[in-house]
Structure 1
Amino acid sequence: MSVTKENEKTFVGTYGTFKVNSHPNHQRLYHLVIEKDSLLAFLTENQLVNAQQLEYVPYMRLVLSQSLERHLGSSFSDTVRSILHDRNTGGFTVGMQGLTQNYDEYIKFSTALSHLIGGVNFDAMSGTYYARFTVKDTDESDSYLRQAYRRFTLHTDGTFVDEPTDWLLMMKFAEENAKGGESRLLHLDDWEELDHFSKHPLASCRIEYKAPASKNVVQNVYNETFFEHNGKPCICFIDQFAHPTTMQQAVYLKNLSESMENSKNTIDLPLPVGDLVMVNNTFWLHGRAAFERNPELHRELLRQRGYFARV
């Protein structure tokens, strides 16, 4: 990987109510540890807020976010924003540290955090601003999302919606009888064949994306596979929903996906229950390793995705 030792130290440190550590499983990621008293104070102050209220009254999400910032300080907001915008890093994990196993409190914490970053996309699959979904032994869904025993190939989110999807948050709610199924992550700058595919004549060709029925999105969108931001290549890709119109486009996308899957820098990231991972969706690709078969397999995740504040 091309991350430097100097960069590794950019955000590492103690900030009063939280610490930023280098992540033990990935050279580019950070792991944030919030002071337990501060996290408990946030949960206690908002104990009467529930998930339904957050769905029905949108401004309560921002009120909740302000509460988190008040308890952790503005340095927390500044730090998580800076990490996500930093091309060399662009991601972190953080968790509840065993203080609660209440799903409403997981939703409140993840919502408060995401609204420090910017706006949250409407998730048509769930009909609100976040989605909760399970992975289990049997499934008849129309995408890889819930299919436990196959690898969920590397991709970015938001490919089939007509709105920016700058960041992605995934939080693990529950897990039982699960072996395997780790989050798979690849930072674009660690991909050995980035130059070849990002400079290919078809890199800027607009590809049609169509969502399956379960996504509840009927609008088709057209996206370039690679685009530039701050002088660096960014990517928009998922193999399942791309509908290229020529054989050349199809072969290009197939080769691109296979190259990423075979990258030695694609890392399996363990994520404990109650922890979340948040990454910049424009230069991090994510997927999931296959689970080992178990008829009692159960995992539940929460997803939020959205755009950076434009201020």
Structure 2
Amino acid sequence: MNASRPAAALSSHEQTRFRLTDHPEHHRILQVQVDPGALAGFVDEVRQIDVQNLEYVPFMRYKLADVLARHVGEDFAATLIGILKDRRHGGFTVGLQDMSTDATDFVRFGTAIAHILGPCNHDAMSGTYYARVVVKHTDDSDSYLRQAYRLFTMHTDGTFVSEATDWLLMMKLAQEHAIGGESRFLHMDDWDDRNRFVDHRLGTRPFLYKAPGSKNVSEMVERPLFFQTEFGLSISFIDQFVQPRNREEAAFLCDLSASMEASPGTKEVSLPVGELVVLNNYFYVHGRAPFEKNESLFRELMRQRGMFA
């Protein structure tokens, strides 16, 4: 058990059915391991709730969260929120542990976890509260999200929308013939070069963000790279959609992005099928390593992002 876990996780687990362990591939992220009996009870109880019902009826998403909390224990919710709000950690993984191979069960489980945290943002790309993203051998999209063989550079989510994005959830629904493609995470406090950029005169100047057509978002948003929140020093950045006004700004942004990519604090994390990761979107940036080329490559991820209740 992690001795430095957040205070919300310190209560007795005698009535609960989960435990926390250190993640083997990341020194900050915690693994949440749920009792298989609790997972089986959840999966069985919600199996009749179809995904279209979840897409159309928002309160059904919270019903899933209630069912999961009831099976695992009421301090489960407080523990998850406590981990994400604790800057020492700010992230966790949890999964169905081979309880199912059905992607629909994965969507239900991910929806339950997300709505324990709070309401999901509307995902304009998919038109509902979540998106399913497929990565294959070929791609003709207008962003790095689906391009398998190049580095998906470090970024935060929600840069080009006015709605707050407190946390990000990513769950692996399926994978075949995939080598590489590990998730990459950098906590701001592990970035050695951070203060060089924070203290630069452009560090707190607002930058303009505009999304490509595939995102179905027409608004343009201005926000600074670095700012203060209840979680301390925070960041908002994505290289693909930030619009520099001149060569000086472009050079600063290019240097910042390269520094995050090369930082020793940037760690690769493997995510098995049926497992999800949730990160605090204010003090983590994330990306993806390239895959090895394979014409049969297939990976499907589910993304949800939202606010704390």
Give runs of ≥4 in structure 1 deviating > 2 Å: 5-16
CA shift, 1:104, in A, is 1.2
How many Å separate the matches in 1 of 2:203 and 2:274? 38
Q: Is the 8 A contact 1:12 1:20 kept in 2?
A: no
Q: Is the 8 A contact 2:183 2:271 kept in 1?
A: yes
How many Å separate the matches in 2 of 1:231 and 1:76? 21
Q: Is the 8 A contact 2:103 2:174 kept in 1?
A: no
How many Å separate the matches in 1 of 2:181 and 2:270? 9
Q: Does 1:280 find its partner at 2:277?
A: no
Question: Residue 56 of structure 1 corresponds to which residue in structure 2?
Answer: 56
SS in 1 for 2:135: strand
Question: Residue 28 of structure 1 corresponds to which residue in structure 2?
Answer: 28
Letter in 2 for 1:218: S
Q: Is the 8 A contact 1:198 1:233 kept in 2?
A: no
Question: Residue 7 of structure 1 corresponds to which residue in structure 2?
Answer: 4
Q: Does 1:85 find its partner at 2:85?
A: yes
Comparing 7-16 with 216-225, which one deviates more in the overlay?
A: 7-16
SS in 1 for 2:171: strand
CA shift, 1:102, in A, is 1.0
In the TM superposition, 1:90-109 aligns within 5 A as 90-109=90-109
Comparing 11-20 with 44-53, which one deviates more in the overlay?
A: 11-20
CA 1:215–1:97 in 2, change beyond 3 Å: closer, same or farther? same
SS in 2 for 1:120: coil
Question: Residue 43 of structure 2 corresponds to which residue in structure 1?
Answer: 43
Report the aligned-residue RMSD: 1.5
Q: Is the 8 A contact 2:167 2:281 kept in 1?
A: yes
Question: Residue 242 of structure 2 corresponds to which residue in structure 1?
Answer: 242
CA shift, 1:300, in A, is 0.3
5+ long unaligned stretches in structure 2: none
Q: Is the 8 A contact 2:85 2:231 kept in 1?
A: no
5+ long unaligned stretches in structure 1: none
CA 1:195–1:231 in 2, change beyond 3 Å: closer, same or farther? farther
Letter in 1 for 2:253: L
Question: Residue 259 of structure 2 corresponds to which residue in structure 1?
Answer: 259
SS in 1 for 2:200: coil
CA shift, 1:232, in A, is 2.4
In the TM superposition, 1:32-181 aligns within 5 A as 32-181=32-181
CA shift, 1:231, in A, is 7.1
Question: Residue 222 of structure 1 corresponds to which residue in structure 2?
Answer: 222
Q: Is the 8 A contact 1:68 1:112 kept in 2?
A: yes
CA 1:294–1:14 in 2, change beyond 3 Å: closer, same or farther? farther
The TM-score normalised by the length of structure 1 is 0.95
CA shift, 1:292, in A, is 0.4
CA 1:212–1:267 in 2, change beyond 3 Å: closer, same or farther? same
CA shift, 1:42, in A, is 1.0
Deviations 1:244-278 (A, max 9, x none): 11222111111100000110111010100000000
CA shift, 1:7, in A, is 2.5
Q: Is the 8 A contact 1:8 1:28 kept in 2?
A: no
Count of aligned pairs: 305
The TM-score normalised by the length of structure 2 is 0.96
CA shift, 1:101, in A, is 0.9
SS in 1 for 2:252: helix
Letter in 2 for 1:143: S
How many Å separate the matches in 1 of 2:301 and 2:10? 28
CA shift, 1:229, in A, is 1.8
Q: Is the 8 A contact 1:137 1:294 kept in 2?
A: yes
Letter in 1 for 2:264: K
Q: Is the 8 A contact 2:181 2:291 kept in 1?
A: yes
Question: Residue 206 of structure 2 corresponds to which residue in structure 1?
Answer: 206
Q: Is the 8 A contact 1:14 1:20 kept in 2?
A: no
Letter in 2 for 1:234: S
CA shift, 1:67, in A, is 1.1
CA 1:303–1:180 in 2, change beyond 3 Å: closer, same or farther? same
